Chains A and B, each alone.
Chain A
Amino acid sequence: MGLLFSFFAVAILGVIAFVGVRSIHLHYFFGVIIPYLAFAVFIVGIAFRVLKWARVPVPFRIPTTAGQEKSFPWIKSSKIDNPFTSFGVIIRMALEVLVFRSLFRNTKMELRDGPQFTYGSTKWLWMAGLAFHWTFLVILTRHLRLFFEPVPFFVEILETLDGFFQVGAPVLYITDLIFLGAVTFLFLRRVIIPQVRYISLASDYFPLFLIGAIGTTGVLMRYFLKTDVVGIKELMMGLITFNPVIPAGIGTIFYIHLFLVSALFAYFPMSKLMHMAGVFMSPTRNLANNNRAALHANPWNYPVKAHTYEEYEEEFRDKMKSVGLPVEKE
C-alpha cells in the first residue's frame, strides 16, 4: 500500500507540473512562486524542528560506549568509539556523519546447520548509503554553477573530476550513474529483503521515488532532451537575486524537475529526512563517556521520596541488635 501510494504521489506531482506548464502555462507559478515557497518552508521548517529538539533537555549522559573506557594509563582506551573528551566526541561525530561509522559495523545474521549462528560483516547498505549521500552532495554542489557567475572554482574542480572519463557529449558525470544506481539499490533492498519490506512505510518509499524521479528528470535533461541551459541559469540567478525573470524557451521537463525538487525541499522538514540534522543531536553519540569524572546536570532533576535509614532501623532495630549490628538509637 505504502509503495503504490508513494509511487502515485510522485507521479501525480510530475503530472501537475506537466499540465500546469504545458497546458495552463503557469510558468511563473512553477518557476518562481513554488520554488520560493518551497525554499522558505525548507529553511523555516528545519529551523523549527531543530529548535524544537534543542528545547528538549538532555537529562542523562547516555553514550553508547563502543570500545574500552578510559580508566588507567596502562589500558589502551578507545578514544573515538568511547570518547572521554570533547575532542573524541567531535571525531566520533565526524566519522558518523562523513563515513557512517556505525553502519560500517553492520553484520548479517545467518542460522546454519550445527546449529550455528554467524554474524558476518556486510557492507552493502553502508556502501550504497555512502554512495547515495555523497553523490547527492556532489550533484547538489555541481548545481551551484547555475546560480553563480563566474562559476565558483570548487564547482569547476568537481565537474572536472566528475567528468574524468570524458565519455560522451555532454560529458558523462560518474556521480549521475552512481547516484541513480544507489537509489535503485536502496529501493530494491527495501522491496526485496522481507524484513525491510515489512517495516517500510509510505514515508520510506516516497523520498526514494521522489529523489529517483528528480535524478531521472535531471539525467533526461542533460543527456537526452537537451534543455536551454543559458535560459535556466538566467532563471536561477534571477531567483537568488530576488529579481525573477522567466526566459522563454525552457523545456517543460525542466519545470517538472524543478517542481519535484521543490516538493523535496518542502517535504524535508516534516519527514524522516530530518535525520540530517538529528544525527548531530543524538545523545548516544554526541556525549563523552565521562559520567563518573564530571557531573552532568539534569535541569529537571527533582527530589524524590526515599526510604530513610531511620525508617529502616525503626523497623528492624530488634533484629539488628539481636545479631550485634550497630544501631543509631538503642
Chain B
Amino acid sequence: MANPKPEELIRINHVPPKQAWMDTRPDFRPGMFCYASKAKSLEYVGMPNPRQWSVKDEDWHLPENWQEIFIEGLRERVDKYRSFRLFLDICVRCGACADKCHFYIGGGDPKNMPVLRAELLRSVYRKYCTTSGRIMGKIAGARELTIDVLKEIWYYAYQCTECRRCSLFCPYGIDTAEITILARELLNLLGLNIDWIAGPVANCYRTGNHLGLQPHTIKDSFDMFIDDLETITGIKVSPTFNRKGAEILVVIPSGSMFADPGTFTTMGELLLFHELGLDYTWSTFASEGGDFGFFTTNEMAKRLHSKIYAEAKRLKVKWILGGECGHMWRVWHQYHNTWFGPVDYLEEPVSPITGTRFENAKSNKTVHITEFTADLIKNGKLNLDPKRNDNLIVTYHDSCNTSRGMGLLEEPRFIINNVCNNFYEMPENTIREQTFCCGSGSGLNASENMEQRLRGGLPRANAVRHVHKKYGVNMLACICAIDRAVLPPLMDYWVPGVAVTGVHEMVGNALIMKGERKRTTNLRGEPLPGMEGEEDV
C-alpha cells in the first residue's frame, strides 16, 4: 500500500474523542499493524496454538478456553513479577507519561498514551484479580475480557516498542514496556504473535541468528568484507570462526553481517581488531547478539541466548565482546547475568591492549564494544585521522535500550568526537535518557506496518530535521542494528539527505593502520574528502 504523504501524515489530532475509551473498538487499519505469525514458526520452537490466522479475520482461531488461559496466565505473572503487580496497582493516572510516547506524539491515537496502553490490561486485571473490580465492575475501571478486548490488547501491545521513555517520567517509575512485555507473553499463550517476531525467533533457534544465515553463508559474507577491505586499505584481515582457545568471543547482531549500512560497521570492527592484533573469534553458532525472544516471552528470550554462553564455554574464551545493537544490550546488561550466572567459567574482562579491567562487567563478563573502543582511544592506542570523516556532519541517536536500560551515553560520544570533526547534538529533550525511539523497535520493523513506523519515528526524525536545517547534518550515527535498518527509510521520508551509520564504521574510516595503502575511499566505497578525483587508482 502507498504511504500517505508527509504533509498528510503530520496533520495529527492529539485530542481524544468524546466517547469513553472503554466504548471504542480498535480499527485495524492497514499500515498500522503487523501480519500474524505463521504456524510453522511457532511449531518450530514449540509455542502454543500454531495455526494459520489473519488479523483482519473475525475469527482468530483461539483455543476453546482462551479466556481461562489468559486469565490464569495473568494471575501467574502478577505473582512472579513484582514490577507487573505493582505497576498494575499504583498508577494514579496523572498523565505525566501521556505525551512522552512517540506513537502517541506521531499518531494521536489516545490508546497509545502509555497510561492507557497499560490501562487496557489493567482493566482486565481489576476484573479478575481485585475485589473492588470484581464487585464494582466498570465504575472501578474493570471490564470483562471479551474477544474485542483481547484484540485491542493485541493491537496496542504491538504498537509499543518497549522503549521505556514513559517510565522515565512516571513518578513511580511505572514502566509500560514491562507491561507490554508481559502482555505479549500472555498473548503468546494463545499463539498471538506477529510474523516479524515469530519468524526470526524460529530462525534464531535453528541457525543461531534471526536472519537464518547458515554457517557457510556467514563465512561467505565475511569473505566479501575481507575482499572489500583489501581493496580499500590494501590490508587483508583474517578473522577466524569458531576457533577454540581465542581470548575473546565477539558477538554482533546478524543484521550487521548482511545488510547495508550495518555491514560497514562490521567492516570497521574487522579493521579495528586486525590493527590491534586482537586474539578473538567469531562464532557462526552464537551469531546473533540480538534477541527477538525478548519480544515473545521471557522463556523464549532465555532459550535463544543460552547459546552465547554455551559457545563461550565450548570455545574456552576468557570473555565476550558485544557489538553495536540496542535491545541486545538491554538483554545482555539487565537479564543475562540473572539467567545464566554465575558465569565463573569465564574470566573478568581485561583489555589485552590497555590492561584496563572492565570493573562494571566483572560478573557477567560481557563488554560493550564502545566501552572497549573508548578505552583504547583514551589510552592513545589508536592512530586516528578524523579528517577522513570530514564529509560527514554527524548527529547521534541514542538507542532506547542502551540509554534507558543501561546508561551508555558518553562512550559512543567520546568515540564520535575522536573520529570526526563535525558533531552536533539534537535538542536536549530528545537525546540521552530522553531519547526518542526509532519507532520500529521490539520487533516492529516489518514492512507492512510502514505507516505505524513512520509515525512512531516522527519525533526522532523531527529532531534530526532540526539539526539538519540548522547545522547541515547529513549523517545520523547510532549503535543499534535495528536503527541502521529502519532509520534510512525514516530519514528518506521525513528528512531526505540524511544517511545512517554505525559508530564503528566511522572508526574504521578514521583508523590509520600500519602498512595500509593511501586510502581514497571510505568503507562504502565513496571517495574520501579531498580524494574525489582519485577513486580508480
Contact between B98 and A125 (Cβ–Cβ < 8 Å)? no
Contact between B95 and A195 (Cβ–Cβ < 8 Å)? yes
- Interchain nearest-CB distance for B302 vs A (Å): 5
User: Which residues of A sit under 8 angstroms from B80, Cβ to Cβ?
Assistant: 56-57, 59, 300
Contact between A274 and B241 (Cβ–Cβ < 8 Å)? no
Question: In the complex where A292-B361, A325-B284 touch, is A119 in contact with B430 (Cβ < 8 A)?
Answer: yes
Question: In the complex where A284-B167, A291-B334 touch, is A53 in contact with B82 (Cβ < 8 A)?
Answer: yes
| B410 adjacent to chain A (CB < 8 Å) | yes
Contact between A272 and B90 (Cβ–Cβ < 8 Å)? yes
For the complex, what is the distance from the CA of A2 to the CA of B378, rounded to whole Å? 60
Contact between B284 and A272 (Cβ–Cβ < 8 Å)? no
For the complex, what is the distance from the CA of A134 to the CA of B93, rounded to whole Å? 20
Q: From B48-56, B169-177, B477-485, give the one contacting chain A.
A: B169-177
| B375 adjacent to chain A (CB < 8 Å) | yes
User: Which residues of B sit under 8 angstroms from A297, Cβ to Cβ?
Assistant: 338
Question: In the complex where A65-B433, A308-B310, A309-B285 touch, is A316 in contact with B82 (Cβ < 8 A)?
Answer: no
- Interchain nearest-CB distance for B530 vs A (Å): 33
User: Which residues of B sit under 8 angstroms from A64, Cβ to Cβ?
Assistant: 164, 167-168, 173, 175, 404-405
Our pick among B215, B307, B361 for the contact of A316 (Cβ within 8 Å) is: B215
| A301 adjacent to chain B (CB < 8 Å) | yes
- Interchain nearest-CB distance for B224 vs A (Å): 13
For the complex, what is the distance from the CA of A96 to the CA of B169, rounded to whole Å? 11
Chain A residue, CB-CB nearest to B219: A323
Q: Which of B242, B337, B359, B458 has the most CB of A within 10 A?
A: B337
User: Which residues of B sit under 8 angstroms from A284, Cβ to Cβ?
Assistant: 83, 167, 173-175, 178
Chain A residue, CB-CB nearest to B106: A117
Contact between B215 and A319 (Cβ–Cβ < 8 Å)? yes
Q: Which of A103-149 contact B (CB under 8 A)?
A: 103, 105-109, 111, 115-117, 119, 121, 125, 129
Contact between B363 and A294 (Cβ–Cβ < 8 Å)? yes
| B266 adjacent to chain A (CB < 8 Å) | no
| B447 adjacent to chain A (CB < 8 Å) | no
| B403 adjacent to chain A (CB < 8 Å) | yes
Contact between B81 and A203 (Cβ–Cβ < 8 Å)? no
Contact between A291 and B337 (Cβ–Cβ < 8 Å)? yes
Q: From A24-32, A36-44, A74-82, A164-172, give the one contacting chain B.
A: A74-82
Chain B residue, CB-CB nearest to A64: B167
Contact between A282 and B466 (Cβ–Cβ < 8 Å)? no
For the complex, what is the distance from the CA of A109 to the CA of B104, rounded to whole Å? 10
For the complex, what is the distance from the CA of A77 to the CA of B363, rounded to whole Å? 19
User: Which residues of B sit under 8 angstroms from A106, Cβ to Cβ?
Assistant: 96, 169
Our pick among A72, A200, A294, A307 for the contact of B307 (Cβ within 8 Å) is: A307
- Interchain nearest-CB distance for A291 vs B (Å): 5
Contact between B139 and A279 (Cβ–Cβ < 8 Å)? no
Question: In the complex where A199-B119, A272-B90, A326-B243 touch, is A58 in contact with B216 (Cβ < 8 A)?
Answer: no
For the complex, what is the distance from the CA of A312 to the CA of B406, rounded to whole Å? 32
Question: In the complex where A59-B81, A270-B132 touch, is A71 in contact with B360 (Cβ < 8 A)?
Answer: yes
Q: From B7-15, B145-153, B503-511, give the one contacting chain A.
A: B7-15
Contact between A292 and B333 (Cβ–Cβ < 8 Å)? yes
Contact between B403 and A65 (Cβ–Cβ < 8 Å)? yes
| B2 adjacent to chain A (CB < 8 Å) | no
Contact between A282 and B172 (Cβ–Cβ < 8 Å)? yes
User: Which residues of A sit under 8 angstroms from B139, Cβ to Cβ?
Assistant: 1-2, 5, 202
Question: In the complex where A199-B115, A291-B364, A301-B338 touch, is A56 in contact with B85 (Cβ < 8 A)?
Answer: yes
For the complex, what is the distance from the CA of A2 to the CA of B140, rounded to whole Å? 9
Our pick among B86, B141, B335 for the contact of A53 (Cβ within 8 Å) is: B86
Contact between B378 and A282 (Cβ–Cβ < 8 Å)? no
Chain A residue, CB-CB nearest to B139: A202
User: At the interface, is chain A mostly helix, strand, loop or mixed?
Assistant: loop
User: Which residues of B sit under 8 angstroms from A129, Cβ to Cβ?
Assistant: 94, 171
| A13 adjacent to chain B (CB < 8 Å) | no
| A249 adjacent to chain B (CB < 8 Å) | no
Contact between B337 and A71 (Cβ–Cβ < 8 Å)? no
Q: Which of A283-329 contact B (CB under 8 A)?
A: 283-285, 289-298, 300-301, 304-309, 312, 315-316, 319-320, 322-326
| Interface residues as binary, B69-110 with A (CB distance below 8 Å gives 1, 0 otherwise) | 000000000111111011001111111101110000100001
Contact between A295 and B339 (Cβ–Cβ < 8 Å)? no
Contact between A71 and B371 (Cβ–Cβ < 8 Å)? yes
User: At the interface, is chain B mostly helix, strand, loop or mixed?
Assistant: helix
Contact between B81 and A282 (Cβ–Cβ < 8 Å)? no
Contact between A270 and B98 (Cβ–Cβ < 8 Å)? no
Question: In the complex where A60-B334, A69-B406, A326-B243 touch, is A279 in contact with B171 (Cβ < 8 A)?
Answer: yes
Q: Which of B5-63 contact A (CB under 8 A)?
A: 10, 12, 14-16, 20-21, 46
| A228 adjacent to chain B (CB < 8 Å) | no
Contact between B433 and A72 (Cβ–Cβ < 8 Å)? no
- Interchain nearest-CB distance for B124 vs A (Å): 14
User: Which residues of A sit under 8 angstroms from B100, Cβ to Cβ?
Assistant: 107, 109
For the complex, what is the distance from the CA of A242 to the CA of B6, rounded to whole Å? 71
User: Which residues of B sit under 8 angstroms from A270, Cβ to Cβ?
Assistant: 131-132
Contact between A195 and B113 (Cβ–Cβ < 8 Å)? yes
Contact between B169 and A298 (Cβ–Cβ < 8 Å)? no
- Interchain nearest-CB distance for A314 vs B (Å): 12
User: Which residues of B sit under 8 angstroms from A52, Cβ to Cβ?
Assistant: 85
| A22 adjacent to chain B (CB < 8 Å) | no
- Interchain nearest-CB distance for A303 vs B (Å): 9
| A204 adjacent to chain B (CB < 8 Å) | yes
User: Which residues of B sit under 8 angstroms from A102, Cβ to Cβ?
Assistant: 96, 168-173
| B414 adjacent to chain A (CB < 8 Å) | yes
For the complex, what is the distance from the CA of A283 to the CA of B87, rounded to whole Å? 10
Contact between B90 and A117 (Cβ–Cβ < 8 Å)? no
Our pick among B92, B178, B205, B466 for the contact of A116 (Cβ within 8 Å) is: B466
- Interchain nearest-CB distance for B228 vs A (Å): 18
User: Which residues of B sit under 8 angstroms from A34, Cβ to Cβ?
Assistant: none
User: Which residues of B sit under 8 angstroms from A295, Cβ to Cβ?
Assistant: 337-338, 341-342, 363-364
For the complex, what is the distance from the CA of A53 to the CA of B342, rounded to whole Å? 27
User: Which residues of A sit under 8 angstroms from B141, Cβ to Cβ?
Assistant: 201-203
Chain B residue, CB-CB nearest to A300: B80
Our pick among B173, B310, B362 for the contact of A309 (Cβ within 8 Å) is: B310
| A196 adjacent to chain B (CB < 8 Å) | yes
- Interchain nearest-CB distance for A250 vs B (Å): 33
Contact between A199 and B364 (Cβ–Cβ < 8 Å)? no
| B220 adjacent to chain A (CB < 8 Å) | yes
For the complex, what is the distance from the CA of A92 to the CA of B314, rounded to whole Å? 42
A–B Cβ pairs within 8 angstroms, 22 of them: A56-B85, A58-B83, A62-B175, A62-B334, A65-B407, A72-B356, A72-B371, A103-B96, A109-B100, A111-B14, A274-B90, A278-B90, A284-B173, A284-B175, A291-B333, A292-B337, A293-B362, A297-B338, A309-B307, A319-B214, A319-B216, A320-B215
Given contacts A67-B407, A279-B172, 19 further A-B contacts (CB under 8 A): A53-B85, A57-B80, A59-B338, A65-B403, A68-B410, A72-B375, A78-B407, A111-B12, A117-B459, A194-B16, A195-B99, A199-B119, A272-B93, A279-B173, A283-B173, A289-B407, A292-B363, A312-B285, A323-B216
Closest 9 CB pairs of A and B: A69-B407, A284-B173, A306-B306, A278-B90, A65-B407, A119-B429, A198-B16, A109-B99, A285-B173
